[in-house]
Structure 1
Amino acid sequence: MARVRNGNSRVGYALAPMAAAALWGGLYVVSKWGFDAVPPVTLAFCRIAVGAATLLVVVRYAAPKRRFSRADVRGFVALGTVVAASIVTQFLGTAMTTASQGSLVTVLTPVFTILLGVSVLGERLSRRLGLGIVLATLGTGIVLYGQHDASTLRSGGVSGVGMLLLASATWAAYTVWGKPLVQRYSALETATYSCAVAVPITGLAVPVELLATEASIGPVTPSVLAAVAYLGVGGTAGAWYFWYKGLEGVDASVVSVFFFTQPVVGAALGATLLGERLGPGFVVGAIVMGAGVVLTSVGQPDRPSSPGARTTAERTETDPSGD
């Protein structure tokens, strides 16, 4: 049975969702490159389509051939539906709200994930984990307060905020409900097949958006193509794999806390690449958030993985069909 044996192993698994959050943090800079020329749902479809194509190429050469049970097929379909809803509602909500309201996704997603992890997966919320979550939330709040205009929290539409809340809840569900499939197969396969399912689902919404809103796609400039490429390859294929990779070794509650690093990375990249100014609140918030992340990822008691969890080599050797 696979086991997280020591703190070093735990830190290794924790670095994967941190990498995912770093890739998502880069989306802030990418948005400055001009991909606002593409309507929200259409952009979501382009992102998922590029991500799925990238993942399918990788999984063809890196994963064993499988024959999935009907239950697992239904699981992949459910995950694909949930993540499609998450991405579409996030893009719509972002387009309908202010930047400060958009930060709700960052703050609330870990909260929803922890609640689902405890209630659905039976994860234990230790004192250390609880303290780490509080510190990470506080630090992120300080960073966001300095990065955005708090006075705009009350502006914008209620529908947009509702979309952001739905995006947070559905991403939490994608994280928690994906864990059994991640343990049965792998992070790569689970991210790939759920992403592939999400492509036609989001594709169905594109003509609805274009017809209902009379939106149009702007000129396809190199910056737009670069933005879509980053969204698909980095922000979807790479980030979704890294996010699920963390679930191979630690609880969903622990993985979720790394979501808090996204605005820190985004602000740092904005200062580095766009010349934006970082105030003292950024430094204080980043330190507090970092302390919370360290508490959640280091020093948690070793635990056996669930009965279905096996290494890739064990799955290939003992169960090449995947059934």
Structure 2
Amino acid sequence: MSTQNVTDVRPFSVAGGLANVTRVSIRSVAALLLLAVMWGLSIPVTKLGLQTLPPLTLTALRFAIAVPLLLAFAVGRHPLPWRALPRVAALGVLGIGVGQVAQTYGVSGTSASVGTIISATIPVFIVFFAAVRLKQHVSTTQKFGLVAAFAGIALVALGHGHGTTAISQTTAGGATCVLLSALAIAFYYVWSVELTTAYGTATVAAWSTLFGFIALLPWASWEMLHVPIHFTAHAVGAAVYLGVVVTVAGLFLWLSLLRIVPARVAASVQYLQPVVGIAAASTMFGDRLGPSFVAGVALVLAGLALTMTSRSKRT
């Protein structure tokens, strides 16, 4: 809910019910590449916004921009019955109050490169939670993928190397927060399967984001009163990018792609996001990547490939 996020939204829940599309046009490939760039820049842009805005304020500003747009898209779609409000509200608090806030705090305590690669494990955790909550089978290949991803996280977060600025800028607390965010966002996606099936993706995304934003406001207001805030052009631009491009445009571009390309092809965007994010972090912040970081990235991407390859056989 990223947003994913609705932060970085990658709703595997809708993939299972899609038509079996077999042809992929050049326009679809271009859209996938665009989406990888849009979502891949999420962590580096968050890092940019945090240079002058504290975490809760940046998160609140992001969703203050996104919520009206999501509600506008939800108008005229499936109505949300009163009995569903508690679950949708809890979903929003989990996705934004835990997932997005933890991500923003985590990014403030990690380099953009480290934050990017830890966040890239969200699809891996989706496989785990889908097995627990939705009783989906976890194959031996997926289990190897989970182990590889965890080993990669450990190398990225805890590794040290001479001249490796990406590691030296990272604290254990920051890496833990990003990992907590990945867990919360992954569970958000899995939990939303039941709700989006019943009430529609746009409706659930809009209302859950609204409830999460409302829950965040008191804490963000307290932060604004006690922490110095500087609304620079870079900070506001970062909030606009995260709210409009990552949260809203990314969601609807993803949903559109799932209707016209095979789910296994759409899922390939997962491999490109960390590459885009790390390249952007290196360019924007001068992150230098040492051997332990490179090895960790390789393990995380290998774990992601194993979990996604196994799933694609059933989509």
Whether 2:106 is the aligned partner of 1:90: answer no
**Residue number in structure 2 paired with 1:120:** 133
Whether 2:239 is the aligned partner of 1:228: answer yes
Residues 203-250 of structure 1 deviation map (CA, whole Å, 9 limit, x = unaligned): 111122234xx31211x333332211101101222334566778999x
Tell me if the contact between 1:117 and 1:253 (Cα under 8 Å) persists in the aligned partners. Answer: no
Whether 2:87 is the aligned partner of 1:75: answer yes
**Structure 1 CA distance, aligned partners of 2:21 and 2:271?**
21
Residue 80 of structure 2 aligns to a residue whose secondary structure is coil
Amino acid at match of 1:73: L
Amino acid at match of 2:201: A
**Residue number in structure 1 paired with 2:202:** 188
**Residue number in structure 2 paired with 1:53:** 68
Change (3 A) 1:3 1:27: closer
**Structure 2 CA distance, aligned partners of 1:14 and 1:238?**
17
**Residue number in structure 2 paired with 1:106:** 119
1:128-143 residue pairs with structure 2 within 5 A?
A: 129=142
Displacement of 1:169 in angstroms is 1.9
Worse overlay, 74-83 or 269-278: 269-278
Change (3 A) 1:116 1:267: same
**Structure 2 CA distance, aligned partners of 1:37 and 1:78?**
30
Amino acid at match of 1:177: W
1:6-21 residue pairs with structure 2 within 5 A?
A: 6=20, 8=22
Amino acid at match of 1:203: L
Residue 8 of structure 1 aligns to a residue whose secondary structure is coil
Change (3 A) 1:183 1:199: same
Residue 192 of structure 2 aligns to a residue whose secondary structure is helix
**Residue number in structure 2 paired with 1:265:** 276
- Gapped regions of structure 2 (runs ≥ 5): 1-15
Displacement of 1:72 in angstroms is 2.0
Tell me if the contact between 1:41 and 1:206 (Cα under 8 Å) persists in the aligned partners. Answer: yes
**Structure 2 CA distance, aligned partners of 1:14 and 1:141?**
33
**Structure 2 CA distance, aligned partners of 1:194 and 1:32?**
25
Change (3 A) 1:67 1:9: farther
Amino acid at match of 1:264: V
Residues 7-58 of structure 1 deviation map (CA, whole Å, 9 limit, x = unaligned): 63899x9999986654231134435755521111000001111111221222
Of the candidates 41, 66, 72, which is equivalent to residue 56 of structure 2?
41
Tell me if the contact between 1:112 and 1:172 (Cα under 8 Å) persists in the aligned partners. Answer: yes
* % identity of equivalent residues: 27
**Structure 2 CA distance, aligned partners of 1:167 and 1:44?**
13
Change (3 A) 1:88 1:15: farther
**Matched pairs, number:** 293
Whether 2:178 is the aligned partner of 1:167: answer no
Change (3 A) 1:15 1:163: farther
TM-score, normalised to structure 1, is 0.67
Displacement of 1:114 in angstroms is 2.0
**Structure 1 CA distance, aligned partners of 2:278 and 2:108?**
20
Tell me if the contact between 1:7 and 1:298 (Cα under 8 Å) persists in the aligned partners. Answer: no
**Residue number in structure 1 paired with 2:9:** none
Tell me if the contact between 2:43 and 2:115 (Cα under 8 Å) persists in the aligned partners. Answer: no
TM-score, normalised to structure 2, is 0.69
Change (3 A) 1:111 1:302: closer
Tell me if the contact between 1:15 and 1:246 (Cα under 8 Å) persists in the aligned partners. Answer: no
Change (3 A) 1:233 1:294: farther
